[in-house]
Amino acid sequence: MEDSATKNSPSLMGTVMEAVGGRPHSDPTQLGPLVLAYIGDTVFDLYVRTKLVETTGLTAHGLHMAAAKKVCASAQAEAYRRVEGVLTEEEAAVFRRGRNGHMGTIPRNASIGDYRLATGVEAVVGWLYLRGDDGRLNELMQIILNDDTNQQSAAGGRHGIQEEQ
């Protein structure tokens, strides 16, 4: 539950832009899908690392190892499967753009299918972040990071995307 101070405070992206002296992109949808995935990768990682620090007593090395397992392509592909039913039409379109973006290389330990799904998820996360839509970003990340897969059905499906094999 948000308190009044949270409701009146700027978005995470707005706070970052203020710190670096920039200004928000007028329409993040106009950015390339891999640019959205680029920033989304960092935002996704921030959520994962924050949850690990707040919920575990791991050492720095343990935190690194745990985070790596949660931000790898296969884990992000699973993240997509958890939120696919709750994506809006607009989010689904951003996901498809990210998933279908032309990638130069694929990590050795990832399948092409998982890597594409992961890139789509990162694009959605980046797009929501750049829009300053912290509420929706938090909603999706809670579903992704919650260990109870039943939360997906509780959020109510909005739009599913067929996975590309």
Sign of CA dihedral 116, 123, 48, 137: negative
Residues 165/113, Cβ–Cβ less than 8 Å: yes
How far from chain centre, in Å, is Cα 99? Answer: 13
Enzyme catalytic residues: 41
pTM of the full structure: 0.81
Separation between Cα atoms, residue 160 and residue 140, nearest integer Å: 14
Q: Which one, of 137, 114, 135, 113, lies nearest residue 7 by Cα?
A: 135
Residue ranges and CATH numbers for the domains of the chain are 28-155 (1.10.1520.10)
Regions of the chain with pLDDT less than 50: 1-6, 149-165
Per-residue pLDDT tens for 27-60? 898 999 999 999 999 999 999 999 999 999 999 9
